């Protein structure tokens, strides 16, 4: 299956180049940042005629964000030409995405993750002819899924996540995954920029699943 880049990706580019969206101003990095990473937001044509996105569940043995759903990605190494190369390299190392098969749309503005002191560059990509994905590095990734956008955009699958720490933020339940935190925030921002988002009720709250919460508690100790 091969498909041209969808028009909504052009809308994301136009929005990013104009007034910077709220999520990117609220979480803009400080002037001095020691750690930089990049993630690949890889969308592609799905079997239902729509599109899907590659999401991973991080290993539960990791110290940072164990078990949490994320995009493929990781640290920008000194040998990388920049965040785009880092995101493509990490996606290849973690889940087997062939870098040359990705149509890189744009590197988006950095977002700062305060708990880890990490500035993350989201790299928006289109996969015109998707190849297989699988767990390549189980030390980093426990699971990988191509999740249909039709599920992520379903208002019944969107809610506000309630964390014991007091955190409240957007969440999704799709593809058998519970998506929250940075990944949910970024997905929601891109959907809004693309004009794809449908009204959903932020007053509907769901708690963090017990297995995710236990991983988070274990790594606090």
Residues 78-98 pLDDT 10s: 999 999 999 999 999 999 999
Provide the whole-model pTM: 0.91
Closest CA to 40 of 96, 9, 86, 93: 86
What are the structural domain ranges in the chain? Answer: 7-218
- The pLDDT value recorded for residue 138 is 85
Assess contact for 46 and 148: CB atoms under 8 A: yes
Closest CA to 107 of 88, 121, 127, 119: 121
Pick 152 or 220 by higher pLDDT: 152
Backbone angles phi, psi at 149, to 5 degrees: -65, -30
What kind of fold does domain 7-218 have according to CATH? Nucleoside Triphosphate Pyrophosphohydrolase (3.90.79)
Instruction: Determine the length of the chain.
Output: 221
The tokens for 187 are 């997905």
């Amino acid at each position: 299956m091969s498909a041209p880049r969808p028009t909504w990706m052009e809308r994301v580019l136009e929005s990013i180049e104009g007034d910077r969206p709220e999520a990117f101003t609220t979480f803009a990095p400080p002037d001095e940042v020691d750690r930089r990473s990049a993630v690949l937001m890889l969308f592609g044509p799905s079997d239902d005629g729509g599109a899907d996105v590659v999401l991973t569940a991080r290993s539960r043995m990791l110290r940072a964000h164990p078990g949490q759903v994320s995009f493929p990605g990781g640290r920008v190494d000194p040998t990388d030409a920049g965040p785009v190369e880092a995101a493509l390299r990490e996606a290849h190392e973690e889940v087997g995405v062939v870098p040359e098969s990705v149509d890189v749309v744009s590197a988006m503005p950095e977002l700062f993750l305060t708990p880890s002191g990490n500035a993350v560059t989201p790299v928006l990509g289109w996969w015109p002819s998707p190849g297989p994905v699988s767990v390549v590095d189980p030390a980093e990734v426990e699971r990988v899924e191509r999740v249909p956008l039709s599920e992520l955009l379903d208002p019944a699958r969107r809610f506000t996540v309630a964390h014991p720490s007091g955190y409240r933020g957007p969440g999704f339940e799709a593809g058998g995954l519970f998506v929250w935190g940075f990944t949910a925030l970024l997905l929601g921002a891109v959907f809004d920029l693309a004009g794809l988002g449908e009204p959903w009720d932020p007053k509907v709250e769901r708690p963090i699943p017990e297995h995710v919460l236990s991983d988070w508690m274990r790594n606090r100790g």
